[in-house]
Structure 1
Amino acid sequence: MVIWIILLAMTAAAVMAVLWPLSRQRNVGRQMDPDTLFYREQIAEIERDLGRGVLLASEAEAAKAEAGRRLLRAMGLPGGEAFAAVGEPALRRRRAASTLVLSIIPLLALATYEIYGSPQLLSQPPGARMQPPQQQAGNLDLLGAVAEIEAHLAKNPQDGRGWEVIAPVYLRMGRIDDAVKAYEAAVRYQSPDAVRLSNYGEALVLAKDGLISAEAQGAFEQAIKLDPSAPKAKFYLARAAVQDGQGEKARTILQSLLASSPADAPWVDAVRQELAALGAPQPEAAPAGAPQVGPEAIAGMVAGLASRLETQGGSAEEWTRLMRSYAVLGQRDKAADAARRAREALAQDTEALKTIDTMAQELKLTDAQP
């Protein structure tokens, strides 16, 4: 009920702000141009309303701008014509029409809101009504927990355990760069650990859209030194070998990982898929219903991107995406060729060429260097 009283009071104030100058009595006989005096008075009234706090500054500026434009138009008319067009009867008719219109508008607005609006949703955040109550509560709890941890870490930036707790939450929220920084801090401020290093490397891979950078590979290699059986590290080192064009090395790593893993290990299906993509024989068939990788589908998407860039051209970012995709698929010759074609297509763009060269160095495409 309180919100309706506030809204009605605001509507009444806005209406009175416009009607008040229309209701003022003027000595028309002493005016050379009633329109001119009317708009001058309206501007002055807007200033007074602004001073009293009836109007916001933005509303006052908009109202003054409109009144000023009308004032200029009125001042440009011949004096005798303006006086004849807006005499006292016309002025009274204009006031009556304005009063009627300004009274109907808020009534129509309130009626429309009553039919189509939902006053009870004013306190809900955007998009909240699209989620079930349980999900809303879960999101609020998650955001609240993240805010508390972030506040704690702001005061205790060397709390490695705190960084390790919030890093996977950042991944869940899609904040990949924040997750990378959190895992990096967790590694820095805690003792070496294979799982922690593997998670840090994985975050780096996600940040690079699947590319195993030198930094990520270093993290995985450190993890293997601490724990030669670390499954996540071995899996990504196999992918790194594929990117470097060492398919046989990748198959050896994956087959070793598969042989040493329990049959129900959560990563077994992913390992089988990687081996299938490499064309390697597997010790046993994958379980029925297990998700399968579609190398042909992936290759088809990459081929589509390559065809579009070849015929229509594209940005440096699109060319580097093509280079990265070929590298991830282990097709280093095609990645190098894409780098050469990108340099030809972007020969006149110095910044774009720098982007291509940086990606070529990151992918270790030494044969594609200019």
Structure 2
Amino acid sequence: MFWILTGALALVLTLLLLIALLRGNRDTGPAEAFDLQVYRDQLREIEKDAARGSIPEEEAARLKVEISRRILAADAAAQKGSEEAGKAGAASYVMGALVAATILGGGFALYMKLGQPGTPDQPLTQRLAEAQQLRDNRMSQEEAEAKIPAQAPVQAPDEYMKLVEQLREAVEERPDDVRGLTLLAGSEANLGNYRRSYELQKQIAELLGDKAGAKTFTDIADMMIIAAGGYVSPEAQVELEKALALDPNDGVARFYGGLLMAQTGRPDIAFQIWDRLLRASRPDAPWVGPIRAQIEELAFRAGVTRYQLPPLPESHDAPNGPSADDVAAAAEMTPEERQQMIRGMVDGLSTRLAEEGGPASDWARLIGALAVLGEQDRAKAIYSEARTVFAEKPELLKQIDAAANRAGLTSE
């Protein structure tokens, strides 16, 4: 039925164009028709002038003969032009053949290249069922990771690698140390060891038990998805569902939930999740950039026409966390009070950057504050992590490098 309908439509359209092209019914004699009217008017005027006696009869007869001759010539020219106008020339036939070949042959060739001959009807219920089946039978985490090509090891400063080795040894000796596991999980992620990172984060979740928050599970899912090359596996989905059960507004879990729907044939649900998340998020939230880069295409796939990205609010890098001046201002406190205040500020900033991310200025402040505290190793680790975060933003990386130089660190 499809071929019958489309073939008939193409044939009818081709015939209409050919008829218009080959019929050649064009009015090509307006000049001759105008001349005939002028000559007839002149002939009537001469007859009137002769009747009034304005011109002699001999002159009137001569003028009538001359004008009649012109009338006959103009009429013959008009008839000849009319006959030629009704005939299609060779160029018309060539053009007609090209039109027929383009519409019929070109349309068929284009469909065979872009279309899907033989595809049956796809009612909504069937597509929904297929999407559910795809979601239920998709690859496991292990299968997805096996398909990822081997990556070259991340090049990190020697000091950073020494720190990581120390962390590995410490965790091996104290496997119940949540703080050590957290630091090592982050370090392994920075080195591209994503599988090891989420394995450590699973240990953290087991140790925390009921005290584990939504971020604990989104961290696991995040590393699993990165390890699988951006694929949301059933195992990662379980971690995301745990996070959403604890915090339905968790941005990372909602972002990956939308990604899961997009990957399993439900762009309509994915678009709704991402659109709501985008409108409710701060402009510097880590998922805003990826959503804005993909949501217009997702809207098209979801059947949403005329979608417009919401305006991006201006982001102001408000000072967050301690600066070198903040640390110096604590000089009037007792050593214990000063140390406690500084530690609290530094730890608060460090925790916020680890959990939510932040502008380059905050990373620079943290590096400077750690250097003032004399924690060079930790400052170097933060510096290395910041260089990874802003590796693709040279203008922001300059702020990080400047802070490291002031703190006496190097990128080597």
Structure 1 or 2, whichever has the larger Rg, is: 2
TM above 0.5:
no
Q: TM-score range by the shorter chain?
A: 0.3 to 0.5
Q: Considering Cα pairs closer than 8 Å and 6+ residues apart, tell me whether 1 or 2 has the greater RCO.
A: 2
Task: Using structure 2 for the length normalisation, give the TM-score.
Answer: 0.35
